[in-house]
């Protein structure tokens, strides 16, 4: 993905999540792109313009989950244990889009006969 498209995605996310750190957005975006590139087992050229919406959505969900730490509590008798739970790892968030990504790349997607 070229830098202009990355910048466009980062700027879009900064408007949607103004409290997000720009450096963190860039780092998570790079992780998402790396994961998508790992789907390209046949070495085809990736059409990042077609994948821009999916990449933006996964980045948004990932950052939203990171910013919204959910505090869960477990009560045992007279003791309550609270902990912050994080969900939405990048790989899990991409799982809903993996077949779409593979079909756009042209490697290993579902084929209909």
Structural domain count of the chain = 1
Whether residue 32 is contained in a domain is answered as: yes
95 φ/ψ angles, rounded to the nearest 5 degrees: -55, -35
Whether residue 12 is contained in a domain is answered as: yes
Nearest residue to 6 via CA among 55, 54, 40:
55
Whether residue 111 is contained in a domain is answered as: no
Whether residue 41 is contained in a domain is answered as: yes
Across the 113 residues of the chain, what is the mean pLDDT of every consecutive 10-residue run?
Answer: 95 93 94 92 91 94 79 71 62 80 78 46
Answer whether 1's CB lies under 8 Å from 29's CB. Answer: no
Residue 31 structural domain:
3-105
| pLDDT value, residue 71 | 58
Angle between helices 98-105 and 48-67 (to 10 degrees): 160
Kindly report the pTM of this predicted structure: 0.76
| pLDDT value, residue 82 | 65
| pLDDT value, residue 113 | 40
């Amino acid at each position: 993905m070229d830098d202009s498209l990355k910048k466009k995605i980062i700027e879009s996310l900064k408007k949607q999540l103004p409290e997000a750190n720009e450096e963190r957005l860039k780092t998570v975006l790079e992780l998402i792109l790396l994961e998508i590139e790992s789907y390209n087992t046949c070495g085809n050229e990736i059409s990042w313009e077609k994948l821009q919406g999916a990449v933006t959505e996964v980045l948004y969900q990932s950052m939203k989950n990171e910013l919204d730490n959910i505090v869960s509590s477990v009560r045992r008798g007279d003791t309550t244990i609270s902990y912050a739970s994080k969900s939405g790892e990048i790989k899990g968030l991409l799982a809903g889009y993996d077949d779409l990504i593979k079909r756009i790349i042209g490697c290993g997607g579902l084929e209909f006969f």
